[in-house]
Amino acid sequence: MMGVNFVESELERLKETGLYRKLRRVDGDQGSTLLLDGREVINFSSNNYLGLANHPALGEAAKAAIDRYGCGSGASRLISGNMTLHEELESKIAEFKGTEAALVFNSGFQLNTGVVSTLVGEGDAVFSDALNHASIVDGCRLSRAKVAVYGHLDMNHLEGELKRSSSARRKLIVTESLFSMDGDEAPLADIVGLAQRHGAMVMVDEAHATGVYEPNGAGLIAKLGLGEGVFVQMGTLGKALGGFGAYIAGSKALRDLLINRCRSFIFTTSLPPAVMAMTIAAIGLVEREPERRQALRGNSAALRGGLASLGYVMGGSRSQILPLIVGDAQRCMKLSQRLLDRGVFAQGIRPPTVPPGTSRLRITLMATHTQPQLAQALEIFKAAKD
Ligand SMILES: Cc1ncc(COP(=O)(O)O)c(C=O)c1O
């Protein structure tokens, strides 16, 4: 076919530079072990942090919702797809996050692209941490606002950019709270302080923080008591909450604006009722079973300590996400393969997901990893080391 030669050459280039990716197949459920391409391996590559993705209570809630409401939602929310369970889940999320209102989106990616580009546009400025997720980056690009990328967690740099954009019509600072690839935390109190001094809105992505922080699992904003200073709290339903989709939590006016103006909310079929029901069940479990996040913290500390004593380098993470930095993409994938050959699945993460020269194994813990699994994994990490 004419004009498609670039496909083969692009694939070749990816292979030569160690950046080629392929899909792996999982049979069975998303447990602390996985049946990966037909082999059982210890799973350190899942965001199912609390073990809810395969919890029977979520399955039962989903089945009951299908019996009562059917499978599909049939339309977008603004047409006929706004079902009882969408509103029930939104009330539950608002209560969980301690906000006036909440709004559910079909995915975190859709949410970030849509919400950022609804809040700011031409003549505005958006300030984005250099390590923010691709969906935030794309939301910034889509918005047509002036984009100021500040160094990761660098508050002096952020302040300088805020001063430089003092004449912008609207200003939005956007950051993850617990960073997905590094497992470190944004200095949210400082960000809220800077926003107040410079008249900026704050949007915080709690994709990896939802479900894991004390006191109630609502996220890092709740832990720090910063809800009042954050205009948009977002999180995903597909990670610690074990389902699929995403939410914003904030004021009723924000919810209303997004219902009216946010294209990635408006122009898409709404999530099926089963997904809503399983998420309501998941939030109930997060609230009633703090032992899940305690187990997650314990497992994370145990593996972090064990890996450090083997000489692995992990940056500043104190969370369930351990970035085991290798640097070179090819070396990183070789280490990942040596581990896999011995029974540990720790996915290598390369550019463009992370900056060049920082390829890493992104190791994620689950509340459901057992002590024998962690001990066995450490033996394997020891054997696979360069
Ligand atoms: C920080 C962050 N924000 C947003 C997303 C997108 O969420 P979703 O998977 O629901 O599209 C992800 C990952 O998937 C993420 O890590």
Residue 135 CA: nearest ligand 1 atom is: 4
- Average pLDDT score over residue span 125-132: 98
CA torsion, points 236, 239, 242, 244, in degrees to nearest 10?
40
CB 324 within 8 A of CB 312: yes
Measured CA to CA, the distance from residue 235 to residue 217 in angstroms comes to 12
Question: What are the tokens at 318?
Answer: 């104190």
Query: Within this chain, do residues 261 and 329 fall inside the same structural domain, yes or no?
Result: no
CB 324 within 8 A of CB 363: yes
Whether 270 maps to a domain, the answer reads: yes
Range of the domain at 318: 19-48+290-384
Confidence grade of residue 2 (pLDDT, cut at 50, 70, 90): confident
Whether 14 maps to a domain, the answer reads: no
Beta strands per DSSP E along the chain:
26-27, 33-36, 39-43, 101-105, 125-129, 146-150, 171-176, 201-205, 232-236, 246-250, 321-327, 344-345, 348-349, 359-364
**Distance from Cα 116 to the centre of ligand 1, integer Å:** 14
The CATH number that applies at residue 96 is 3.40.640.10
Query: Within this chain, do residues 43 and 111 fall inside the same structural domain, yes or no?
Result: no
Query: Within this chain, do residues 252 and 320 fall inside the same structural domain, yes or no?
Result: no
Asked about 180 being catalytic, the answer comes back as: yes
Asked if the model's pLDDT at residue 145 lies above 90, the reply is yes
The tens digit of pLDDT for each residue in 361-384 reads 999 999 999 999 999 999 999 999
Report the predicted TM-score, pTM, of the whole model to 2 decimal places.
0.97
How confident is the prediction for the chain on average, in pLDDT? 96
- Average pLDDT score over residue span 212-238: 98
**Distance from Cα 244 to the centre of ligand 1, integer Å:** 10
Query: Within this chain, do residues 136 and 254 fall inside the same structural domain, yes or no?
Result: yes
Query: Within this chain, do residues 175 and 309 fall inside the same structural domain, yes or no?
Result: no
Domain end, chosen from 243, 264, 288, is at 288
CB 177 within 8 A of CB 131: no
The tens digit of pLDDT for each residue in 5-64 reads 999 999 999 998 888 899 999 999 999 999 999 999 999 999 999 999 999 999 999 999
**Distance from Cα 236 to the centre of ligand 1, integer Å:** 6
**Distance from Cα 364 to the centre of ligand 1, integer Å:** 15
Query: Within this chain, do residues 160 and 272 fall inside the same structural domain, yes or no?
Result: yes
Which of these is catalytic: 86, 171, 198, 208? 208
Query: Within this chain, do residues 96 and 40 fall inside the same structural domain, yes or no?
Result: no
Q: Please report where in the chains the tokens 């918005």 appear, as a residue.
A: 143
For ligand 1, say whether the CB of 129 is within 6 Å of any of its atoms. Answer: no
Among residues of the chain, what percentage have pLDDT more than 90?
A: 94
pLDDT at 274: 98
Which of these is catalytic: 86, 133, 171, 239? 239
Query: Within this chain, do residues 179 and 222 fall inside the same structural domain, yes or no?
Result: yes
Among residues of the chain, what percentage have pLDDT more than 70?
A: 100
pLDDT at 52: 98
Whether 7 maps to a domain, the answer reads: no
Nearest CA to ligand 1 atom 9: 108
**Signed CA dihedral, 285, 289, 291, 294: sign only:** positive
Whether 354 maps to a domain, the answer reads: yes
The tens digit of pLDDT for each residue in 299-353 reads 999 999 999 999 998 888 999 999 999 999 899 999 999 999 999 999 999 998 8
For ligand 1, say whether the CB of 109 is within 6 Å of any of its atoms. Answer: yes
The helix/strand/coil state of 174 is strand
Asked about 239 being catalytic, the answer comes back as: yes
The CATH number that applies at residue 325 is 3.90.1150.10
Which of these is catalytic: 117, 180, 270, 317? 180
Residue 110 CA: nearest ligand 1 atom is: 11
Asked about 198 being catalytic, the answer comes back as: no
Phi, psi at 160, each rounded to 5°: -60, -45
pLDDT at 154: 98
pLDDT at 211: 98
**Distance from Cα 309 to the centre of ligand 1, integer Å:** 32
Lowest mean pLDDT across 79-93, 252-266, 277-291, 310-324: 310-324
Q: Compare 21 and 87 and report the one with higher pLDDT.
A: 87
Whether 10 maps to a domain, the answer reads: no
For ligand 1, say whether the CB of 180 is within 6 Å of any of its atoms. Answer: yes
Whether 11 maps to a domain, the answer reads: no
Question: What are the tokens at 260?
Answer: 């009216």
Domain end, chosen from 267, 288, 309, is at 288
Query: Within this chain, do residues 83 and 112 fall inside the same structural domain, yes or no?
Result: yes
**Distance from Cα 114 to the centre of ligand 1, integer Å:** 13
CA torsion, points 220, 223, 229, 232, in degrees to nearest 10?
40
pLDDT at 47: 98
Whether 332 maps to a domain, the answer reads: yes
- Average pLDDT score over residue span 213-231: 98
Residue 112 CA: nearest ligand 1 atom is: 4
Whether 9 maps to a domain, the answer reads: no
pLDDT at 163: 98
pLDDT at 316: 81
The tens digit of pLDDT for each residue in 159-171 reads 999 999 999 999 9
pLDDT at 315: 83
For ligand 1, say whether the CB of 246 is within 6 Å of any of its atoms. Answer: yes
Domain end, chosen from 247, 262, 288, is at 288
Nearest CA to ligand 1 atom 5: 108
Say which amino acid occupies 281: A
Query: Within this chain, do residues 201 and 60 fall inside the same structural domain, yes or no?
Result: yes
- Average pLDDT score over residue span 102-120: 98
Domain count, the chain: 2
Query: Within this chain, do residues 143 and 248 fall inside the same structural domain, yes or no?
Result: yes
For ligand 1, say whether the CB of 236 is within 6 Å of any of its atoms. Answer: yes
* Alpha-carbon separation of residue 51 from 96, 160, 204, 382 (angstroms): 19, 42, 24, 26
Query: Within this chain, do residues 215 and 336 fall inside the same structural domain, yes or no?
Result: no
pLDDT at 1: 83
For ligand 1, say whether the CB of 108 is within 6 Å of any of its atoms. Answer: yes
